[in-house]
Structure 1
Amino acid sequence: MRLWQPLLQRLHRTPAYFWAGLLVGLMLLALGLATRVGHMPGAIAVEQATVLLAGQDEASASAVDLPHVWDNERRSWRGEAHYRLALPEALAQAVQIESGLALLLPRVGVRFRVLFNGQELSAECWRRSAGYCDAGTRAHFVQLPQRLMAPQWADNRIEIQIKGQLLRISGLSPVWVGPRDVLYQRFRWLTWWQVNLTWMVAASSFMMGVLSLLIWSRTAEPLFGLLGGGLVVLTVRLWLSTPVFLPGPFLIWDYIHKLSFTWYCGFTYLFMSELFDFRQSLVRKLVVAMMALGPFWLALQAGLENYQLYRLWTGVIALVCVLAILKVIHRARWGMNVNQRLMVVVSLATMATGLRDFLVVQMDFPGDTDIRWMTPGSLVLMFAMGWVLVRRTAQAMEQVAQLNTELARKVNEREAELHAVFDRLRVVENQRVLEAERRRLTRDMHDGLGSQLVQTLNLVHSSGAKVDSASVANMLNHALEELRMTLDSLEPMDGDLPTILGTLRQRISPTLQAARIDLDWQVEAVSAVPGLEVRGVMHLFRCLQEVFANVVQHAQATRVTVRTWERGGRIFLSAADNGVGLGDPLESGFREGGRGISNIRMRASEIGAEVRFSCAHPGTCVTFSFAADPGAAPLGAAVQA
């Protein structure tokens, strides 16, 4: 394995266009070997005939050499031409062979029939006056029955009658005569090449075209759309190049056949221009104009019944192809990537197959004129374009994977940074909370316990030697209560309002009993109140402490009622006495703008509560409202309800 590993690595690093060039070279070599002019044992090619046009007398018959293109002699494609051939004298002894004699017609006109000594042996599209039927798309094999042989060999006559077709070349190629088995093998080979291979290429083109269009519909990638469009029209052209019968006027299908070739060339070049980034080139604009003008030009050619217009049009297409090649050569000065080099190699090979067909068929260069190289060349070009798109898709997926990896790396980095920032912010927030809590405790200790201790100290200093121990003890009890209240507020109560009020009840009950005020406790279980944490509990304690202080000092009440309830998404707490009420602010202790109400309102706002002072008839009612959710009703509507 270690010995092969360097070789495998070197093969893996070899560019794709090198392998494409090697495979294309092997393909051209195989085509050359498969289509070289061979010898068919015992068969003879008849290359001379006499032709008589329908409606003319026998004296008008003329001798012609095969291949003979009838359309080169007549402008009109209508009518019939009767070709008469004599059996070669060299085959006079072959009638005794077991397989018998046969004819092989490699190429013949659109509609024809074969007669042997006046008897019809074969007819292709002869009796189909309407519809699309082209017998020239494949070779034809006709067996010569022994029973129809004339007693004298020289009296045997073969007649091939051909009907002309508007805008289609009609005529006859050399006819092979020989042993049935030998010619049938050649016929099967031509049928596979001319028909079966064409169907194979058409099926491959159709499947690849539909797949490309589906991918294009999902990705909107222009290359897939251009490839799909080109392969679909190529499928139409190949389908019409096979022996099929289609209903309708022949000229319409012939028009589609010619137009599909124009659009196929156009789509192929647009694919190349997109691949080579020739989007603003002059050649691209010419191709677009050619594809747009093609339908009108071909319609004009059909209307004028002038085949020369189509030949001129094919010349325009060939000129555009030459310009495209020159554009590629010009582009090569700035270098090409692997995909572009691959397409250049395959495109040049495909053009070589077309050039070979032109030289062999039209210019009589050596080669088998019955077999075209362009069909397998188109197949190779089609798969090369598909391979380019596969490589581009794979490269795009690799780029996406790399981008995703890079994005994940950056996200992880940013996440780590955010975690670090969050940790720092959490430390700062904890410090801020601790500092705020420290300031709150300091303020509460200063305002409560500190104030009581200062007053007690002042009392001791001012009394001198005569200290009123009872007064000092009372003031120290107040200071102790302040300390206990501060400590109670530090207990975690999680917004449990009944528990918070129960803790407060222990502190205020002795004071109310000393003032001979009954406490009516109607505290019910309610939902947790958001915002009543340590700081909020102390604010609520201070608010209620102020309320009960006013009840004891000013209200002249005998009963105070503490009540909780929940309604309309809000939680309510009220403290109501039966004293003098709000009619006399000096006696009740509650006066708008006074220090007591201002402190209560300020502390209530700190815990997100609303407070309302109202007459209890008799007495005063102070109501606190806490929102259980953001959509709760306002205080006034809830209380009135």
Structure 2
Amino acid sequence: MSRAVFIWSGVLLCYVLLVSTFSYRFLFDAPSKDNFGSILDGVSVYSATKTPGNLPEKGWSRVYLPDRQLLNKQGLELWYRLDLDGLLRKYRDDRLAIYLPGVSGSAEFFINSLWIKSNKNTGFPVYRGRGKLSILILDKDIFLPENNKLYVHLSGSEGSLVYLDNVYVGAVDSLTSWYKKSELVRHHLILFVVILLTSFGLFVIFFWFLRKKDTYYLWFSLASFLWAVHNAYNSGLDGGEVALLWDIIAPLGFGWSVVFIVLFLCEVECSPNHRIRWKIISGAFLFSLPFFYLNPGWIWFYAYKIWFAFVTCIGLYAVLFLIDRYRENANQNTLLMLLTGISIILFGLHDLLVKDHYLDVSSPFLLHFSALLSVIVIIKILLGRFMDGIRMMENYNQELQSEVHLKRKAIESNYAKIQKLQNAKILSQERERIMRDLHDGIGGSLVAVLASLETSQIKPNDLKCEVQHILQDLRLVIDSMDNNNGDIATVLGMLRERLDKQLRYAKFVVKWRVTDLPGLQDFGPEKALSTMRIVQEAISNAIKHSGAKTLTVSTYILEDDGIKHAAVEIKDDGNGQLLPSSQGRGLKNMRKRAKQVGATLWVDNQVGQGVVVRLAFPVNGACP
């Protein structure tokens, strides 16, 4: 056997001994005998009478306490008569207490012919394993000068055992303290376990609602609820008018709680075997059917002679199953559940012996202490699974982060390569554009000048103007390469600088009313150059053909059909006529360039009021 088996077995043994010692010591820790006395014997008789005054004079039998009797058809009601005179003479206090630590069946108490107390739950006599603890606080003036008797009337069902433990008479304080200690062990402690099991069952079933595929949560929560019902019965809770129903539910509750615990173990320890599951459930269902024969004596016999034997077999199957599983995996959780199952069997057998009166009926029940142990072990297992899940999630998270890091590096590397390729492509496209502009524009102009020089058909001043025009066009190409932010105002500023000298020589007044406009996306060098050439062409046309003295270049936001545009407007104060030459190549080139840059060109003219050229760029895709 492994070291873990010895250690945890020792822990279980210590727990069993500690619980047993505490319960028995606390329950039977009687006060000083100077403060109380006990009644050890008396007489009893079977009689169906309801008051002491109608009891028969003959038929009484001597009994020694504690005493138990079997009820049958000839006698379903038993009377005990106990003498009090000896103890009353010993204790002369104004008030006395009579403490009865163990009374089974339905009981009534009389002092002489005076009714004092009853623990009957219902007018229909049923078997109860044992009644609640009883203590009678009595004034001395209710007693007679002599011949005082305590009558205990017990009733039950056919075939049930009734029991009367020792009866103690003495000082109120001493016996009340003893009664409260016993009540703590036999009632309040069990109620605490009931609340604990119910709360834990509600807590666990919450996890089942979250993860319904994990049915072991459901099995354990059902086991907790049913075990709580059984413990509530053992705590001595009154059944009232449904006492017979309590006598059925309590053993059924415990038995089915064992069934559900076995199902829980099977699913926690291995993949659920549906065939075994339905065999266990079907067997428990068939063995539960006889409880519906509503005879109190039969219920008591069947519950404690047959049903609990079947439940014990189910528990032994669970123990053997856990032993087999531990041999396979040597898992600590399996060992803990195995030892918990052994504690349930040990404490259950103890309580069964108490129920069947093989042990002192006033002995404490111990099965609820195994419920405490079960809850602790299950919490440990569930927390372990929870922590394992957290650790697994952390491992997955670390692996995911590592994968993300590697993917990010790969993406960054690919992005850098793509950017490099894109930059190379952009440079190639820009190089081709510049070459095209130089070839088509500047190159064409130079060829024309060269041809004119070869034929001597060009005058020096014209040659000078053509060369200046070519240089200006070259400067515009160079300026356009500096625009990378999509700012139209910057483009117009560079154009103004290049045209300033030409405009002064022409004695032409140009008013620049340029304001900030939203930056445009994808407004690169090619579009900047086309924009400058459109504006340059519009200004040149105004200088050459309009007869105007003043020209205004302005920018503003224009809204057309709900779409905002960044507008550039060139307006002169000339004659307002569009000459055939203006309607030809110049205007066509302007429209062609506007279309290339994604803008719209409008040309409006009114005779005598000048010409307005408007270039509008949509700003829906504008940079922020």
Superposition TM-score, scaled by structure 2 size: 0.75
Confirm or deny that 1:108 pairs with 2:107.
Answer: no
Is 1:82 aligned to residue 71 of structure 2? no
Once the two structures are overlaid, the 10-residue window that deviates more, 503-512 or 443-452, is 503-512
**Structure 1 pair 419/294, CA: closer, same or farther in 2 (3 Å)?**
farther
Does residue 265 (structure 1) correspond to residue 258 (structure 2)? The answer is yes
Q: Please identify, of 406-415 and 207-216, the stretch whose mean Cα deviation from structure 2 is larger.
A: 207-216
Q: 1:44 to 1:303 in 2, by over 3 A?
A: closer
Give the corresponding residue for 2:347.
Answer: 353
How big is the shift at 1:343? 0.8
Q: 1:565 Cα shift?
A: 3.4
1:130–1:249 CA contact under 8 A, matched in 2: no
Go from structure 1 to structure 2 and tell me whether the alpha carbon gap of 1:301 and 1:131 turns closer, same or farther (over 3 Å shift). Answer: closer
Alpha-carbon shift at residue 223 of structure 1 (Å): 4.8
- Following superposition, the deviation at residue 26 of structure 1 comes to 0.9
Classify the secondary structure of the residue corresponding to 1:136: coil
**Once the two structures are superposed, what CA deviation does each residue of 1:558-599 show, in whole Å capped at 9, x if it has no partner?**
2366554322222223446767856x8xx24435xxx65664
Q: Equivalences for 1:46-57 in 2 at 5 Å?
A: 50-55=44-49
Residue 25 of structure 1, CA deviation: 0.8
Which of 547, 561, 564 is 1:558 aligned to? Answer: 547
Which amino acid in the other structure matches residue 29 of structure 1?
L
Q: Aligned match of 1:456 in 421, 433, 449?
A: 449
Structure 1 Cα separation of the partners of residues 152 and 253 of structure 2: 32
The within-5 A match list for 1:583-598 is: 587-590=580-583
Deviation string for 1:49-68 (max 9, x for gaps)?
54313159666667789653
Q: Aligned pair in 2 of structure 1 residues 105, 430: CA closer, same or farther (>3 Å)?
A: same
Distance 1:480 1:435 in 2: 24
Contact 2:546–2:577, Cα closer than 8 Å, also in 1:
no
**Residue from 584, 600, 608 that aligns with 2:590:** 600
Q: Distance in 2 between matches of 1:75 and 1:622?
A: 126
Q: Which moved more, 1:180-189 or 1:415-424?
A: 180-189
CA distance in structure 1 between the aligned counterparts of 2:159 and 2:614, rounded to whole angstroms: 105
Assess if the C-alpha contact under 8 Å between 2:104 and 2:129 holds in 1: yes
Aligned to 1:6: none
Deviations 1:430-458 (A, max 9, x none): 33333333333333233333333333333
Secondary structure at the aligned position of 2:583 is classed as: coil
* 8 Å CA contact retained: 2:599, 2:615: yes
Question: Aligned-pair distance for 1:604?
Answer: 2.3
SS state at 1:527 partner: coil
Change in Cα spacing, 1:193 to 1:537, as seen in structure 2 (3 Å) is same
Alignment of 1:570 onto 2:562: no
**479, 483, 495: which is aligned to 2:474?**
483
**Counterparts of 2:518 and 2:152 in 1: how far apart (Å)?**
108
Q: How far apart, CA to CA, are the structure 2 residues paired with 1:390 and 1:84?
A: 58
Residues 105-126 of structure 1 deviation map (CA, whole Å, 9 limit, x = unaligned)? 443224313456x355853325
Match for residue 321 of structure 1 among 294, 315, 318 = 315
Partner SS for 2:293: helix
CA RMSD of aligned residues (A): 5.0
Correspondence for 1:634: none
Q: What CA distance in whole angstroms lies between the structure 2 residues aligned with 1:590 and 1:302?
A: 113
Instruction: Give distance in 1, aligned partners of 2:44 and 2:204.
Output: 52
CA contact (8 A) 1:68 1:172 kept: yes
Aligned mates of 2:605, 2:138 — CA distance in 1 = 130
Q: Is 2:387 the counterpart of 1:379?
A: no
Which residue identity is paired with 2:10? Answer: L
Secondary structure, aligned partner of 1:108: coil
Alignment match of 2:515 (pick from 518, 525, 532) = 525
Q: 1:143 to 1:527 in 2, by over 3 A?
A: closer
Q: What per-residue deviation string (whole Å, max 9, x for no partner) do you get for residues 41-87 of structure 1?
A: 9988958954313159666667789653534x2499xx632134689
State the Cα distance separating 1:603 from its structure 2 match. Answer: 2.9
Q: How far 1:348 sits from its partner (Å)?
A: 1.5
The one-letter code sitting in structure 2 at the alignment partner of 1:108 is V
Unpaired segments ≥5 residues, structure 1: 1-12, 632-641
Offset at residue 625 of structure 1 (A): 1.2
Provide the residue aligned with 1:241 in structure 2.
Answer: 234
2:185 aligned partner: 193
CA distance change for structure 1 residues 144 and 413 in 2, over 3 Å: closer, same or farther? same
1:118-133 to 2 correspondences below 5 Å? 118=112, 123-126=117-120, 129=123
Report the AA paired with residue 264 of structure 1. S
Matched, 1:202 2:194: yes
Q: Secondary structure at the match of 2:103?
A: coil
1:113 touches 1:120 (CA, 8 Å); kept in 2?
A: no
Change (3 A) 1:295 1:438: farther
What one-letter code is carried by the residue in structure 1 that aligns with 2:47? L
Distance apart, 1:352 and its partner CA: 1.7
- The aligned residue for residue 342 of structure 1 is 336
Deviations 1:511-535 (A, max 9, x none): 6788x89666474425234144433
Given the alignment of the two structures, is residue 627 of structure 1 paired with residue 618 of structure 2, yes or no? yes
C-alpha distance in structure 2 between counterparts of 1:498 and 1:33, whole Å: 96
- Judge conservation of contact 1:111–1:135 (CA < 8 Å) in 2: no
Aligned counterparts, 1:428-439, within 5 A: 428-439=421-432
Q: TM-score, normalised by structure 1?
A: 0.74
Shift of 1:198: 1.6
Q: SS at the partner of 2:130?
A: helix
Post-superposition shift, 1:378?
2.2
Matched with 2:393 is 400
> C-alpha displacement at 1:482, in angstroms?
1.8
CA contact (8 A) 1:609 1:624 kept: yes
* Residue aligned with 1:625, SS: strand
Match of residue 21 from structure 1: 9
Instruction: Tell me the amino acid that sits aligned with residue 484 of structure 1.
Output: R
Alpha-carbon distance in 2 for matches of 1:318, 1:340: 20
Deviation per CA, 1:400-426, whole angstroms, max 9, x where unpaired? 222223323333333333333333334
Contact 1:526-1:571 within 8 A present in 2 as well: no
Between Structure 1 and Structure 2, how many residues are aligned?
594
Q: Percent identity?
A: 19
What is the SS of the residue equivalent to 2:153? strand
- Do the aligned residues in 1 keep the contact of 2:520 with 2:621 (CA within 8 Å)? no
| SS of residue paired to 1:590 | helix
1:161 equivalenced with 2:135 (yes/no): no
Query: Secondary structure of 1:485's match?
Result: helix
The answer as to whether partners of 2:127 and 2:297 remain within 8 angstroms in 1 is no
Q: What SS does the corresponding residue of 2:272 show, helix, strand or coil? A: coil
For 1:306-317, list aligned pairs within 5 A. 306-307=298-299, 310=303, 312-317=306-311
User: Cα distance 1:121–1:377, how it changes in 2: closer, same or farther (>3 A)?
Assistant: farther
Distance 2:613 2:158 in 1: 108
Work out the CA distance in 2 between the residues paired with 1:19 and 1:322: 22
Contact preservation (8 Å) 2:603, 2:611: yes
Q: Is the 8 A contact 2:41 2:62 kept in 1?
A: no
Matched-pair contact (CA < 8 Å) for 1:112–1:135: no
Q: State which drifts further: 323-332 or 344-353.
A: 323-332
1:562/1:576 contact within 8 Å kept: yes
> What residue is the counterpart of 1:423 in the other structure?
416
Instruction: Report the AA paired with residue 627 of structure 1.
Output: P
Partner amino acid, structure 1, of 2:438? M
- Partners of 2:47 and 2:366 in 1: how far apart? 34
Distance 1:615-1:291 versus aligned 2 partners, 3 A rule: farther
